[in-house]
Homo-oligomer: A and B are copies of this chain.
Amino acid sequence: MVSEKTISRLTNYQTLLRLQQAQGRTHLFSHQLADLARVTPAQVRRDLMVIGYTGNPRTGYHVGDLQDSLMQFFAFSTGIPTALVGVGSLGRALLSYFMSGRSNIRILAAFDNDPGKTGRVLSGCRIHPMNRLRETLAETTVSCALVTVPGGEAQKVTDALVGAGVHGIVNFAPVRLKVPPTVFVENLDVTSSIEKAAFFARNYSLKTQEETNHE
């Protein structure tokens, strides 16, 4: 089984390679990809082992071939089908971003329990009521959903999604969801991330001041 961290880095390499290809580059070495991704060259080589792609000692990695290998490994050549639950301020931002086609992620359906929102179309995506979740998802190949409802509602919504056959959840609510072992949860807790950054910011800030004083 391949680790979460490795998967994160591999998706990052994918993004970086797309950019490099757009700039006309056809080959690169592990240390160059490493610089772009802000990791070590050894890390890059180690990561690429898991997808089976093998480079050439003299010319390095072939950008197109490596992209193909990554594509095949991730098996998302046609884009990633997802659903979104909770069309509030965050949900709307995500809709407008991902419906504009700036990435390989496709939001195929949105859901909300507010009758004032359901039935309408936002950024080109129809908003369905919650009681139509199961049947709407049954018509699609969605296996991953974005949860942007208030914390108190997130578990309920998650249970509904799991019941509808979703195996991946990206959770923006500041709660830890309970799911069966066949469901993967990625928590994107903005508040917690800011707290973390603020903590280290203060540390670095103090350290910098100290050093200034010692001079």
Chain B's nearest CB lies how many Å from the CB of A172? Answer: 9
Q: In the complex the two chains form, is B89's CB within 8 Å of A192's CB?
A: no
Q: In the complex the two chains form, is B198's CB within 8 Å of A82's CB?
A: yes
Separation of A186 and B74 alpha carbons in the complex (Å)? 25
27 sampled A-B residue pairs with Cβ under 8 A: A4-B196, A4-B200, A7-B199, A11-B195, A11-B196, A11-B199, A14-B195, A15-B191, A75-B202, A89-B96, A94-B190, A105-B191, A143-B201, A146-B194, A166-B201, A167-B204, A167-B205, A168-B200, A169-B197, A182-B204, A184-B197, A184-B200, A184-B201, A185-B197, A186-B197, A188-B188, A188-B190
Separation of A183 and B204 alpha carbons in the complex (Å)? 7
Residue of B nearest to A16 (CB): B176
Separation of A188 and B197 alpha carbons in the complex (Å)? 11
Chain B's nearest CB lies how many Å from the CB of A180? Answer: 9
Chain B's nearest CB lies how many Å from the CB of A118? Answer: 20
Q: How many copies does the complex hold?
A: 2
Interface check A103, CB cutoff 8 A: yes
Q: How many residues of A are in contact with the other chain, CB < 8 A?
A: 60
Residue of B nearest to A150 (CB): B102
Interface check A170, CB cutoff 8 A: yes
Chain B residues, Cβ within 8 Å of A96: 89
Interface check A12, CB cutoff 8 A: yes
Residue from B15, B89, B191 within 8 A of A92 (CB atoms): B89
Residue of B nearest to A166 (CB): B201
* Residues 92 to 137 of chain A near chain B (Cβ within 8 Å): 92-94, 96-97, 103-105
Interface check A42, CB cutoff 8 A: no
Chain B's nearest CB lies how many Å from the CB of A11? Answer: 4
* Residues 68 to 98 of chain A near chain B (Cβ within 8 Å): 74-76, 80, 82, 89-90, 92-94, 96-97
Chain B residues, Cβ within 8 Å of A4: 196, 200
- Given A7-B196, A196-B7, A198-B144, verify A176-B92 contact (CB < 8 Å): no
Chain B's nearest CB lies how many Å from the CB of A178? Answer: 8
Chain B's nearest CB lies how many Å from the CB of A29? Answer: 18
